[in-house]
Chain A
Amino acid sequence: MKSIQVRKLKEWFIEKAILLSGIFSVVFVVLIFLFLLREGFSLFRGESVIDFLFGKSWYPISQPPRFGILPLILGSLLVTLGAAAISVPIGIAAALYIAEIAPQRLKEILKAGIELLAAIPSVVIGFIGMITLGPWIKNLFNIPTGLTALTGSVTLAFMAMPTIVSIAEDAITAVPRQYREAAIAMGATKWQTTWRIVARAARPGMVAAVMLGIGRVVGETMAVMMVTGNAAVIPRSFLQPVRTLTATIAAEMGESVQGGPHYAALFAIGIVLFIITFLINGVADLYLHRSRR
């Protein structure tokens, strides 16, 4: 029958389209890397990779320009570590509360609240941080400007926490009921069960949650740009303005000449960022797999 053949042909096309769509995600990852390389590679004709990664001076508009990103790496590192120090303990604690202790109704409200926090655009958080947190820190520590690494850490902590809380909460909830029941049957209190048994069992998932939260912080651009002061120098304390890798790209792309060395250098920073987040997400995914088994 002709109509059966037509239908079979249509289905063949649809199934090919489905297969292609699946493969597209792989294609995009490869494309991103390739295009970063394409625009960024020309930098390395005039400068070695070592000089780029470990050079202490980032002076893109001086004559001759210097493209060492160590200050930027250290800036990102400082802000990230600070944000992690704040968000990890609080985030894990909140995840434990929501997963194990909160009553059902409250749990749903809290989870919704955290989803909403995660949804707030980074430019809005940066705006609030800049206008409220900045001056507050300036007055608190009596320093020339409130836009510092510390401000960045606190602001970014608020962006990492929802990620950490929701993934850790999933991991904790996934711990099989038998673990808890066995502990309670042996006379443990709820807290002892939660802390000694459940948290330990959920550890791979919690590690993944922390890594993904850190990954989010490393990749943050707008909020960081608005609160860390944008000084591309090697930081000596938390109370100094710093510059992160991400903010550098966003702030300086407009000033660079397309195809020129500054332009290429910014793309090269993009390569570094891509690799860093690739690694963080890859390892986090491994941990998530371990926790699901």
Chain B
Amino acid sequence: MHPRLTQKIAHAVLLLATLLVVLPVLIILAIIVGKGASAISWDFLFSMPRDGMTAGGIFPAILGTLYLVLGAIIFAVPLGVLAAVYLVEYSSDNWLSRLVKLSIVNLAGVPSVVYGLFGLGIFVTFFGFGASILSGSLTLGIMILPVIITSSREALESVPKHFRIVSLSLGASRWQTIRHSVLPHALPGILTGMILGLGRAAGETAPILFTVAAFYLPRLPQSIFDQTMALPYHLYVISTQVPGIAENVRYGTALVLLTLVLLLNLAAIILRSRFRRKKKW
């Protein structure tokens, strides 16, 4: 076959494959919006559930997700950013830094349900926190640590090397250099990573299955030692275990969760591209 013809066919096949990957996003969105939009109302979003979950709203699940995600970020961001600072600014290419990098890769690959087991074993049982917002947040926090570290590393590495050299040559110490000439310029990238981490933590179910989530709680959580409802777990239960829930309520719950996660990711993507375009150097 003539090479030009082969090329035309090949390119068409590749385009088709790409569409196969991307279109499902739109299809999933379309289905969920289509069937779930009718359930969305002020009442749905902000009131408590009634009648064993068959009426009322999902406010406690939304609130619970927000608590868990905030807790995860509070734990993961300081630890993750400092770990990234270690890797980029302080470590040399020795066995320790290679071990740290390998560990981060492994943490990123651990299945979410294994994180759930870990959270159960260490926070719920060993430390005795019980199934609680504290246990759930800590578990989610460790899970998103690789995301924070990786994006913070990229942000730090993108700061031009000569900023550091100039700062040190003027008599600044290593930490002063990081604090004044490196970190400020890496902040947008770190922020992007944080938003991505938020999105990831908001959507995960398995880590919170054994560490915090409850399906039906009569009142909102009062402290970090309480259990809470959460959106992903809520969606799972009402779609697999509770009969008699209106179809649009199920889709509506999925819609709320999906919107939350996609908005966060979209914000991160936009922030990242604006940052890349706006660089002052």
**A-B interaction:** yes
List the interface of chain A (C-beta within 8 A of B).
Answer: 11, 14-15, 17-19, 21-26, 28-29, 31-32, 35-36, 38-39, 89-91, 93-94, 96-98, 101-102, 108, 110, 112-117, 119-128, 130-132, 158, 161-162, 165, 189-192, 195, 212, 215, 218-222, 225-226, 246, 249-250, 253-254, 258, 266-267, 270, 273-274, 277-278, 280-282, 285
Which residues on the A side are within 8 Å of B261 (C-beta)?
119-121
The complex places the Cα of A281 from the Cα of B145 at a distance, in Å, of 17
Partner-binding segment picked from B43-51, B66-74, B102-110, B162-170? B102-110
Contact A250 B113 (CB under 8 A): yes
Contact A21 B83 (CB under 8 A): yes
Q: Which residues of chain B in 16-49 are interfacial with respect to chain A, using CB atoms and an 8 Å cutoff?
A: 17-18, 20-22, 24-25, 28, 31-32
Contact A278 B109 (CB under 8 A): yes
Contact of B21 among A94, A108, A266 (CB under 8 A): A94
Determine the interface band of chain B, counting residues with CB < 8 A from chain A: 35 or more
Closest beta carbon of chain B to A3's beta carbon, Å: 14
Contact B254 A114 (CB under 8 A): no
Closest beta carbon of chain B to A72's beta carbon, Å: 13
Contact B13 A93 (CB under 8 A): yes
Closest beta carbon of chain A to B130's beta carbon, Å: 12
Contact B3 A29 (CB under 8 A): no
Contact B235 A97 (CB under 8 A): no
Contact B116 A250 (CB under 8 A): yes
The complex places the Cα of A18 from the Cα of B76 at a distance, in Å, of 14
The complex places the Cα of A218 from the Cα of B125 at a distance, in Å, of 27
The complex places the Cα of A122 from the Cα of B206 at a distance, in Å, of 10
Which residues on the B side are within 8 Å of A125 (C-beta)?
28
Contact B103 A161 (CB under 8 A): no
Which residues on the B side are within 8 Å of A266 (C-beta)?
117
B111 within 8 A of A: yes
Closest beta carbon of chain A to B200's beta carbon, Å: 8
Contact B21 A117 (CB under 8 A): yes
B217 within 8 A of A: no
Partner-binding segment picked from B55-63, B84-92, B219-227? B84-92
Q: Give 6 A-B contacts (CB < 8 Å), ordered by A residue.
A: A25-B100, A90-B20, A116-B265, A124-B235, A127-B236, A221-B205
Which residues on the A side are within 8 Å of B174 (C-beta)?
11, 15
Which residues on the B side are within 8 Å of A280 (C-beta)?
109
B contact patch SS: helix
Contact A219 B258 (CB under 8 A): no
Residue of A nearest to B255 (CB): A124
The complex places the Cα of A89 from the Cα of B106 at a distance, in Å, of 26
Which residues on the A side are within 8 Å of B99 (C-beta)?
26
Contact A121 B22 (CB under 8 A): no
Interface centre among B18, B107, B210 (most CB of A within 10 A): B18
Contact A127 B203 (CB under 8 A): no
Contact B100 A22 (CB under 8 A): yes
Contact of A249 among B6, B32, B100, B117 (CB under 8 A): B117
Q: Type the 1/0 row for B121-132, where 1 means its CB is closer than 8 Å to any CB of A.
A: 110011000000
Q: A121-B204, A267-B117, A281-B106 are in contact. Are A18 and B21 (CB under 8 A)?
A: no
B248 within 8 A of A: no
Which residues on the B side are within 8 Å of A35 (C-beta)?
117-118, 121-122, 126
In the A-B complex, list the 3 residue pairs whose CB atoms are closest, starting with the nearest: A121-B203, A219-B111, A22-B86
Residue of B nearest to A158 (CB): B24
Which residues on the A side are within 8 Å of B113 (C-beta)?
219, 221, 246, 249-250, 270, 273
Contact A274 B17 (CB under 8 A): no
Q: A35-B118, A94-B18, A219-B110 are in contact. Are A123 and B103 (CB under 8 A)?
A: no
Q: A25-B104, A219-B110 are in contact. Are A124 and B117 (CB under 8 A)?
A: no
B173 within 8 A of A: yes
The complex places the Cα of A196 from the Cα of B240 at a distance, in Å, of 48
Residue of A nearest to B264 (CB): A119
The complex places the Cα of A130 from the Cα of B18 at a distance, in Å, of 24
Q: A29-B106, A114-B22, A226-B239 are in contact. Are A11 and B175 (CB under 8 A)?
A: yes
Which residues on the B side are within 8 Å of A90 (C-beta)?
17, 20-21
The complex places the Cα of A158 from the Cα of B20 at a distance, in Å, of 9
